[in-house]
Amino acid sequence: MTELPLIGGAPVAVEPHLVGAKIGVVTFPGTLDDRDAARAVRLAGGTAVALWHADTELADVDAVVIPGGFSYGDYLRAGAISRFAPLMSKIIDAANSDAKLPVLGICNGFQILTESHLLPGSMIKNDHLKFLCRDQVLRVENNTTSWTSDYEADQEITVPLKNQDGQYIADDKTLDALEAEGRVVFRYVGWNPNGSRRDIAGISNAAGNVVGLMPHPEHAVEPGFGPESNDGTDGLGFFTSVLNKIVGGAQ
């Protein structure tokens, strides 16, 4: 991935032991937030690797971020066509393998993960029918996943939310199972911005290596460029969490 100059000053001390950890960032036709996601990886200290949806190999990455945007223009259903990209079958296999590749789906990436059946449920249009963009408070309800271990249990974080098809739905049996197994990873705090069942903002698979959420942690990684609370860097923990897990696992 092309090096971008860091604007706003690098907020974190780059830790040399993390640089060897490679996180792939997938670009589909219509993806918007791949550059921000790659930047977040680098600000957290890791190495971002650009992956193209038509690739047939995962390039030996240690984890994958499926970023937000409007892949294939949200045609058919958000994420529905991307789910069948050649690279997605590699990602699905790797996520389900014994190696349990960490995968994070953000916004449209979350929609792609539900369409892929890596995560249960689905997203439909916001209950108020409008596109919504705001800073959103979330509660981290599970800090044992690959992507949330650097947060405190029940820590409240603020990251941007921006979507039109953000209403998370699943049948009651699925929702009960998610709750019972601690797989509701993030819940909206203060208000429910889209009608999501049980205020769910993000979930994980049973193993905790696959996490999806609608809000955008990659837009809250740099002081002065994210939400106003906590320097606007509440999203950085996603990326440091997975990097520390990768490096910890390699030691």
- Near another protein by CB under 8 A: residue from 159, 170, 175, 210: 170
Element (H, E) at 106: strand 103-106
DSSP state of 71: G
- Near another protein by CB under 8 A: residue from 115, 141, 150, 199: 115
Determine, following the binding rule CB under 8 A, whether residue 59 of this chain makes contact with another protein: no
Determine, following the binding rule CB under 8 A, whether residue 116 of this chain makes contact with another protein: no
Catalytic residue among 115, 141, 218, 222: 218
Determine, following the binding rule CB under 8 A, whether residue 167 of this chain makes contact with another protein: yes
Q: Are 237 and 151 in contact (CB under 8 A)?
A: yes
Residue count, binding to another protein (CB under 8 A): 19
65: Cα separation from own chain's centroid: 6
Is 128 noted as a catalytic residue in this protein? Answer: no
Instruction: Give the angle 182-184-186 at the CA atoms, nearest 5°.
Output: 130
The CB-of-77 to another protein minimum distance in angstroms stands at: 6
Determine, following the binding rule CB under 8 A, whether residue 124 of this chain makes contact with another protein: yes
Q: Is 70 helix (H, G, I), strand (E, B) or coil?
A: coil
Determine, following the binding rule CB under 8 A, whether residue 73 of this chain makes contact with another protein: no
- Rule CB under 8 A: which of 171-200 touch another protein? 171
Catalytic residue among 107, 115, 141, 219: 107
Q: Are 178 and 145 in contact (CB under 8 A)?
A: no
Q: Name the segment binding another protein (CB under 8 A); options: 26-34, 60-68, 119-127, 182-190.
A: 119-127
Q: Are 185 and 140 in contact (CB under 8 A)?
A: yes
The CB-of-184 to another protein minimum distance in angstroms stands at: 17
Question: Residue 87: which of 110, 61, 123 has the closest Cα?
Answer: 61
Question: Residue 146: which of 86, 186, 102 has the closest Cα?
Answer: 102
Q: What crossing angle do the helices spanning 236-250 and 34-43 adopt, rounded to 10°?
A: 60
Is 152 noted as a catalytic residue in this protein? Answer: no
* Tokens coding 6: 């860091």
The CB-of-234 to another protein minimum distance in angstroms stands at: 30
Q: Give the 3-state secondary structure percentages of the chain, helix then strand then coil, rounded to 5.
A: 30, 25, 45
Is 107 noted as a catalytic residue in this protein? Answer: yes
Q: Name the segment binding another protein (CB under 8 A); options: 41-49, 79-87, 152-160, 205-213.
A: 79-87
The CB-of-127 to another protein minimum distance in angstroms stands at: 6
Determine, following the binding rule CB under 8 A, whether residue 160 of this chain makes contact with another protein: no
Residues labelled as active-site residues: 107, 216, 218
